[in-house]
Structure 1
Amino acid sequence: MAALAGGLAPVAPVAAAAAPAPGVAGKTSHVARGRSIDIHAHYYPESYCDLVGGEGAKFGGKFTCDSTSFSFQTPAGGLGPLPLKFIRIDERLADMDASGVDMQALSLSVPMAYWAERNFNAKLAKTWNAAASAIHVQYPDRFVVLATLPMLNTSDAIDELERASELPGVRGIYIGTNINNQDLDDPLFEPVFAHIEQIGLPVFLHPQQTVGGARLGDYYLSNLLGNPFDTAIAGSHLILGGVMDRHPQLNVTLPHAGGALPMLMGRIDAGWTARPETRLLAQKPSSYLRRFNYDTVSHSGPVLDFLIQNVGVDRLVLGSDYCFDMGYEQPVTFLDRLNLSTEHRNLILGGNAAQLLKI
């Protein structure tokens, strides 16, 4: 990729903190800041980009790049133009330093490995995982990896899960809120979740192919509304479809502060009381809120306050959505909007993520 020439230069768990009770206490202190770990940071390796635009062309993939930006297009959606710092590690490190982020958990975004034929999807996942792991090896104190899986084929997803889980730096698994419009409680994915639970890696979700169609085509509503609604749908399927019951050790993080799910949980609880379709659960749906973690990409201090008060400060993890225009340029200072004690601030800043990712 000529436009990117020179752009890339080729653990024991911490002691678990006692789980704080929901709510906040005290005034934020800016002394004794803990390590900051951003769990919502996207990365596109050169090798992955070239694969989408090269071999992927026969499956409808397209990749274009100039001196300042790049774009993707696939049958499962596209993105762009995006800044080259998604790809260039030196620019990413400079941004991290400027924003006070000590470590990022690298993840793929659209297009994930769900859009082509079986062998190519597996190749996409393997290529991304290997490239992200190589960045961890080069900068082990700055990056860890959330591996992607070719989820449309169960055997391939499990094979890549087992392979990727042994790669240096892999600390979790990244999965879409739906898999090519199939919801996460589909029986196709049950063996994959069982293997993830057995291996003991946390799962991080991210919206893709979101709901709404043409009705969300204007005003960027496909992102502004589609992303949080798709997260709510995914969380609801994991709860109401029994996935969280069948896999009690499965640890799932919801993006964008849980999307619409936490705010709608009262309505879902009411449905559990009134509607027989929802009564497959032994407990009311809201009792599952603490089975999830939530990143801080809410764009709202009151929303994070709501999560702290109703779910618990021990369930929040720092996120930036690096480096999309709907993310945070300053994810660390965004926490200044909250009235947090030093202990609680440090939990959100990186303590919770360090425990989750075994850093």
Structure 2
Amino acid sequence: MSARSSVIDFHAHFVPDFYRDAAIGAGYGNPDGMTGFPHWSEDEALRMMDRGGIGVAVASVSSPGVHFGDDAAARRLARDVNEFSASVRDRHPDRFALLASLPLPDVEGALAEIAYAYDELHADGVTLKTNARGLYLGDPAMEPVLDALDRRRALIVLHPTSPPGAEAVSRGWGRPMIEFPFDTTRAVADLLLRGGIARRPGIRMVVPHGGGALAALADRVEEFARMVVGGDGPDVTGQLRHLYYDLAGFPIPRQLPSLLAMTDPSHLLYGTDWPWTPEVIVTAGTAELKATPLLDQDEVTAMMTTNGLPLLDRFGT
């Protein structure tokens, strides 16, 4: 099957039972301030994809990821998650792409898992959280991980998670509502300001949820950077134009206009965030995207089908 005419969901998740049990056992029964984990099964995922006309799901484990405080346990869980994902991919090679999870902030473990995921499991990319227990993408400790991914021309699909101090700043609200978009903004802005992407042209990056608040704050970030380092400051807005952005969430009607002022429609990707977002909401959001006057029909079709092909080497042929 060629993905060229298929809808590609760049923001899909799986929640195997062993992962849910591990998270709950580690004290994450209410992940990111939510009431619990959604139900997921392989058959249910395929049925949902068929109902929504989705050909390919680029699936990963969502927040809180695989590291719950113990490096050795995180390495084991990352391996289990990745081998499970590979088994799903192998049963349905034309329906699922494999995004490997890494046991960050354990950098040594992450480097070992990158090698295993690519060389043994033939991963399509990796998923990185916006921070790993407070370790952000732009931190110097992350340099070896980003270098390893750059050498492999890796697809990195970001996913937000709770920031440090989340319980205080979230004010009791589920963190996906406000903290996720702002942690995405914080992580990407810091990474670009530190040259983490400019120095690594092999990395291909997808930013979730329409980039969070990046479009609204991009000019402010760039001007502050110029004030700090002078005229040779990083070209933040230029770098942002070349990243990709999934439209999972609620980009209509207010977020998408700002995003289109920051990047080209060819860098927009479809995403559902299922099963964390219920199917009824996914269906309504998809209908809004298809009907928006901000994109013409060719742009909508490309957003849902072909824009992401340069990121998926296995499907792009």
User: Which letter maps to 1:345?
Assistant: V
What per-residue deviation string (whole Å, max 9, x for no partner) do you get for residues 282-327 of structure 1?
Answer: 4432111123110012413342243234310111111111122478
The one of 286, 289, 293 aligned to 1:335 = 289
For the 8 Å contact 2:225–2:233, the answer to whether it is kept is: no
TM-score by length of 1: 0.78
Q: Which runs of 5+ in 1 are unaligned?
A: 1-10, 15-33, 63-71
The one of 162, 180, 197 aligned to 2:150 = 197
The one of 203, 207, 217 aligned to 2:171 = 217
Instruction: Provide the C-alpha distance between the structure 2 equivalents of 1:77 and 1:343, rounded to a whole number of angstroms.
Output: 37
User: Which letter maps to 1:73?
Assistant: G
- Deviation of 1:273 (Å): 3.0
1:272-351 → structure 2 map (5 Å cutoff): 272-276=225-229, 279=230, 282-302=233-253, 303-325=255-277, 328-330=281-283, 332-339=286-293, 340-351=295-306
Q: Hey, what does 1:40 align to over in structure 2? A: 11
- Deviation of 1:141 (Å): 1.8
For the 8 Å contact 2:59–2:96, the answer to whether it is kept is: yes
Instruction: Provide the C-alpha distance between the structure 1 equivalents of 2:94 and 2:61, rounded to a whole number of angstroms.
Output: 20
Instruction: Give RMSD over aligned pairs.
Output: 2.6
Instruction: Provide the C-alpha distance between the structure 2 equivalents of 1:189 and 1:170, rounded to a whole number of angstroms.
Output: 20
Q: Which runs of 5+ in 2 are unaligned?
A: none
SS of the counterpart of 1:102?
strand
- Deviation of 1:166 (Å): 3.2
For the 8 Å contact 1:240–1:281, the answer to whether it is kept is: no
1:57-68 → structure 2 map (5 Å cutoff): 57=25, 61-62=26-27
- Deviation of 1:193 (Å): 0.5
User: Which letter maps to 2:292?
Assistant: L
- Deviation of 1:81 (Å): 2.8
Instruction: Provide the C-alpha distance between the structure 2 equivalents of 1:255 and 1:281, rounded to a whole number of angstroms.
Output: 29
Residues 1:73 and 2:29 are matched in the alignment: yes
Q: Hey, what does 1:94 align to over in structure 2? A: 47
Aligned length: 309
User: Which letter maps to 1:82?
Assistant: F
1:57-206 → structure 2 map (5 Å cutoff): 57=25, 61-62=26-27, 72-73=28-29, 79-84=34-39, 86=40, 88-168=41-121, 170-206=123-159
Residues 1:354 and 2:305 are matched in the alignment: no
Identity of paired residues, percent?
26
- Deviation of 1:219 (Å): 4.0
What per-residue deviation string (whole Å, max 9, x for no partner) do you get for residues 83-109 of structure 1?
Answer: 32x2x1111212112222221111111
For the 8 Å contact 1:136–1:169, the answer to whether it is kept is: no
Instruction: Provide the C-alpha distance between the structure 2 equivalents of 1:117 and 1:275, rounded to a whole number of angstroms.
Output: 38
What per-residue deviation string (whole Å, max 9, x for no partner) do you get for residues 44-67 of structure 1?
Answer: 1233334445xxx4xxx15xxxxx
SS of the counterpart of 2:306?
helix
- Deviation of 1:249 (Å): 2.3
For the 8 Å contact 2:12–2:59, the answer to whether it is kept is: yes
1:238-249 → structure 2 map (5 Å cutoff): 238-249=191-202
Does the C-alpha gap of structure 1 residues 273 and 326 become closer, same or farther in structure 2, counting only changes over 3 Å? farther
User: Which letter maps to 1:317?
Assistant: L
Structure with larger RCO (C-alpha < 8 A, sep 6+) = 1
For the 8 Å contact 1:101–1:332, the answer to whether it is kept is: no
Does the C-alpha gap of structure 1 residues 50 and 73 become closer, same or farther in structure 2, counting only changes over 3 Å? closer
Instruction: Provide the C-alpha distance between the structure 1 equivalents of 2:19 and 2:120, rounded to a whole number of angstroms.
Output: 17
- Deviation of 1:167 (Å): 4.7
Instruction: Provide the C-alpha distance between the structure 1 equivalents of 2:70 and 2:172, rounded to a whole number of angstroms.
Output: 31
Instruction: Provide the C-alpha distance between the structure 1 equivalents of 2:3 and 2:286, rounded to a whole number of angstroms.
Output: 23
User: Which letter maps to 2:159?
Assistant: H
User: Which letter maps to 2:17?
Assistant: E
- Deviation of 1:133 (Å): 0.8
